[in-house]
Amino acid sequence: MKNRHICLIISLIIPLFIVCGQGGNADPVGLTGGGDDGYIYTDHPEQEEETGKGETSADSLIGSWISVQDTAGPVIYLTFRDDQSYVMQIDIENYPMLHEGRYSTDGNQLILNEGIFIYQIDADMLMMTLDGYVFVFRKVTS
């Protein structure tokens, strides 16, 4: 019974840190612990989005992006404009296909005509996930 009380007290103390601790945007990861994987890596893009640590604001999307696929597939150029319009250009054998439309975001969701993607921006990299497929883009211009 005594042990249960100790656990309960500790469980109550932890949330107090939220008030007492100095907040910060970076992940509290050291070199021997703190990572979401239990160690020192935070290989967890979607969780970062949910907790607001990752960058998923629509403003950061604005600019031109080029695909960095891990297969020898076509190169995709994506341009998001600040008037909520976007252009997607897919180069297949030098015959560009052009898709245009309007985009919107909802949390970590990026809604395009082609589907609803889960997205995350890390520095100059944009990662978009749809049905388990991950598309990675590098920012070309802001």
- Identify which of residues 55 and 81 has a Cβ nearer to other proteins in the complex: 55
Sign of CA dihedral 103, 128, 130, 66: positive
How many residues appear in the chain? 142
Q: Does 141 bind other proteins (CB under 8 A)?
A: no
Among 10, 83, 95, 142, contact with other proteins (rule: CB under 8 A): 10
Task: Kindly state the smallest distance separating residue 138's Cβ from other proteins, in Å.
Answer: 7
Sign of CA dihedral 46, 50, 55, 59: positive
The footprint of other proteins on residues 104-133 (CB under 8 A) is 106-107, 109, 118, 123, 129, 131-132
- Identify which of residues 80 and 120 has a Cβ nearer to other proteins in the complex: 120
> DSSP assignment of 39-74, as one string?
SS----HHHHHHTT-SB--HHHH-EEEEE--SSS--
C-beta atoms surrounding 137 within 10 Å: 21
Alpha-carbon distance of 135 to 3, in angstroms, equals: 49
Task: Kindly state the smallest distance separating residue 31's Cβ from other proteins, in Å.
Answer: 3
Q: Does 83 bind other proteins (CB under 8 A)?
A: no
The residue ranges that bind other proteins (CB under 8 A) are 3-4, 6-7, 10-11, 14-15, 17-18, 21-41, 43-47, 50-51, 68-72, 94, 106-107, 109, 118, 123, 129, 131-132, 134, 136, 138
